[in-house]
A = this chain, B = another copy of it.
Amino acid sequence: MQTIKKYVEANTQRFLDELVELLRFPSVSADPKYKGDVQKAAEYVAQKLRDAGADNVEICPTAGHPIVYGEKIIDPAKPTVLVYGHYDVQPPDPLELWETPPFEPTIRDGKIFARGACDDKGQFYMHVKAFELMQATDTLACNIKFMIEGEEEVGSDNLGIFVKANKQRLAADVVLISDTAMISLETPSLETGLRGLSYLEVEVTGPNRDLHSGVYGGAVANPITILAKMIASLHDENNHITIPGFYDDVVELDAAEREALNAAPFDESEYKSDLGIKALWGEKGYTTIERTGIRPTLELNGIWGGYIGEGAKTVLPSKAQAKISMRLVPNQDSDKITKLFTDHFKRIAPEYISVKVTPHHGGQPAVTPTDSTAYRAAEKAIEEAFGKKPIPTRGGGSIPIVSLFENELGLKTVLMGFGLDSDNLHSPNEKYDIANYLKGIETIPLFHKYFAELSQQ
């Protein structure tokens, strides 16, 4: 631990500078106009892996954005850790709400502000620097493989193809991912489950053209009004989701499991005050921790239709559209839920309008075991680095590739995240605390050490 601390202290400024460089690339995977920047970010990651001592570094092309691969095999007899991360980021909109520009990383109050600071550049780059540290101090205890992709924020469409085509190259004993949050530096935690995702876009079409709302209003169904009614009907008065069959496969936790989950510290008034809201919302009969962890949800991610510019336009629009995503829990199936939603949404469409439903992407929910060698190694690493055993938690977000790794590579995943819920992921002013970044770089080598030790027992 002393060796690790000394190396991190001696290199803190460079570790920060390199992350800042990485954050400068606007590697927005969703928007084709950033294609060149996504490529440059991949090249930067590849170079940094080489600099840290990785072998066989390759920028692997896909039908979309490339995957960066690199490895260090010290001894085939030792266990192998496959590190997954993503160098692409969410779109930075709405731009006007950023205090400093999203791709000009700025340090304030011990935090780095930039799009991708926490999700996931700041987090996966800890692994690159921890690898450098282990190489430089000759303490690498496991073989290591890196697979850093550029399409996580758009559904990892091409990762599955790559994984299937490279099973040999990716062979390992565990997948290690830092792309989640812990409760705080004082209360470290480890995620043991992630929700799945079904993401769809819906389009409601009324008249074949925009109409004058004075001439036709009152006689022709307004697609915005109809879409609002359809959306409103998706949650009942208890905020249960009304799609028939939606909850059929949900695994209900027993009383003891729910009690353990609710033992995590949670201050409701602090939570509300941080968000600036007067009241919490959610499914009747469940706590906030349960609503964001073990229960499925349906959220509107975007809506648009009609005139949305300055001033007034008296139009009865032809179309209204929305982006809708559902978070899924074990044992819901993303494809099944996508179909249930689509069928339901078409069924509730009144005759005045027509409906188009387009699935965007999905991912299966996942639960990681807490009794595995890898989980125990993560637990010991965090206990040593933080001085406290981590609390197991259930995350609300989705990393769809966890089930991909399980199905295709037969590997379990450890979700050792160092972010905070307050990091503004997917929001303006995304940030990552420097203390968390450095603590992560300290913890990762301990994981490798304990994973090697426990694997030999």
Contacts and interface: CB of A to CB of B under 8 A. Distances in A.
A425 B314 CA distance: 10
A197 B315 contact: no
A311 interface: yes
Nearest to A421: B215
A428 B309 CA distance: 16
Most buried by B among A155, A215, A321: A215
Contacts of A222: 299-300
A207 B427 CA distance: 12
A296 B155 CA distance: 46
Interface residues of A, number: 99
A2 interface: no
B220 A281 contact: yes
Interface stretch (A78-86, A170-178, A322-330, A368-376): A322-330
Given A232-B229, A307-B91, A396-B218, A301 B213 contact: yes
Contact of A300 (B224, B296, B299, B311): B224
Given A212-B397, A231-B228, A315-B427, A301 B306 contact: yes
Interface string A271-294: 000011111111100001001100
Contacts of A301: 213, 306-307, 312-317
A352 B277 contact: yes
Nearest to A195: B214
A210 B322 contact: no
Quickly give the copy total for this chain.
2
A313 B91 contact: yes
A209 B427 contact: yes
B91 A309 contact: yes
Most buried by B among A93, A225, A283, A350: A225
Interface in A312-360: 312-317, 320-323, 325, 327, 350-353, 360
A211 interface: yes
17 contacts: A30-B311, A30-B312, A31-B309, A207-B276, A209-B429, A212-B427, A213-B299, A217-B327, A218-B283, A218-B327, A220-B280, A299-B314, A303-B305, A303-B306, A304-B308, A306-B323, A313-B426
